[in-house]
């Protein structure tokens, strides 16, 4: 996976990727996203032009938020490259702080964000009840058989 490109995505491509990888709306601790035109995204393409990962993000000036991040091929540092690219773009827009939300059962994401320099700053106890009010299909049991209950917010200060 040495030959790759990172490129900005159009709102149409963002919308397609969102529909392919998650149920809308996308709910975070502080926002609900259902319009890809209100975000930016970067896609990671392999040497054959196939999308192998993507990250979408939004900002309100000083604070940015990673909305989605998906590495289609695990273990090849796609996620790290995507988050680095998103942070670089947000930094260029004057963003000083980035947040990202995951769930209590997503141990892999929690470890990834910490390796990338993010720190846990907030737990929305029973936050998944709010998500299920919008998306009743969300299961009650998550990864590794853990109850899917809480939303965890991580933060990183950009320098």
**The residue to which tokens 């299920």 are assigned:** 132
CA atoms of 17 and 19, how far apart (whole Å):
5
Structure tokens at 5: 């490109």
Average pLDDT over residues 19-41: 93
Share of the chain above pLDDT 90, in %: 78
pLDDT above 80 for 74:
no
Q: Are 52 and 73 contacting, i.e. CB atoms less than 8 angstroms apart?
A: yes
**Domains of the chain (ranges, CATH numbers):** 4-157 (3.40.630.30)
Question: pLDDT tens digit string along 102-123?
Answer: 999 999 999 999 999 999 999 9
Average pLDDT over residues 36-62: 92
Question: pLDDT tens digit string along 90-102?
Answer: 999 999 999 999 9
Length of the chain: 159
């Amino acid at each position: 996976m040495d030959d790759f490109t990172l490129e900005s995505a159009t709102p149409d491509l963002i919308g397609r990727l969102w529909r392919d990888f998650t149920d809308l709306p996308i709910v975070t601790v502080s926002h609900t996203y259902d319009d890809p035109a209100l975000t930016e995204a970067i896609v990671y393409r392999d040497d054959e032009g196939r999308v192998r990962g993507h990250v979408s993000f939004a900002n309100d000036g000083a604070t940015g938020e990673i909305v989605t991040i998906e590495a289609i091929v695990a273990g090849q540092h796609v996620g790290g490259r995507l988050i680095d690219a998103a942070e670089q773009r947000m930094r260029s827009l004057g963003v000083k702080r980035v947040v990202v939300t995951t769930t209590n059962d997503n141990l892999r994401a929690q470890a990834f964000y910490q390796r990338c320099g993010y720190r846990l700053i907030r737990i929305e106890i029973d936050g998944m009840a709010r998500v299920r009010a919008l998306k009743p299909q969300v299961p009650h049991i998550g990864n590794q058989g853990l109850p899917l209950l809480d939303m965890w917010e991580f933060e990183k200060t950009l320098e």
